[in-house]
Amino acid sequence: MQFLAAQACVQYKGVEVRRHGGCLYVMSQLLQHDVTAVYYWDLTTDLVLPGDLGVLSLTVLQALLGSCDVDCLTVRFRQGGEKIALPQRKLTRTLKNYFNEWGVPPWLRDRVPLIYSGDQIVMVWGYTDFLLVNKGDGSVRT
Reading the chain (142 residues) residue by residue, the pLDDT tens digits are 554 555 678 888 889 898 887 888 898 888 889 999 999 999 889 999 998 899 999 888 888 777 667 778 999 999 999 998 877 777 888 999 999 989 899 999 999 999 998 888 888 998 887 665 443 333 344 3
* pTM for the model: 0.81
At residue 6, the pLDDT reads 52
The values of phi and psi at residue 12, to 5°, are -155, 120
**Contact (Cβ atoms closer than 8 angstroms) between residue 40 and residue 112:** no
Looking at the DSSP assignment, which residues form a beta bridge with residue 73?
Answer: 41
The Cα 55–Cα 83 span in angstroms is 24
The Cα 103–Cα 30 span in angstroms is 19
The DSSP bridge pattern shows strands 83-84 and 47-48 to be unpaired
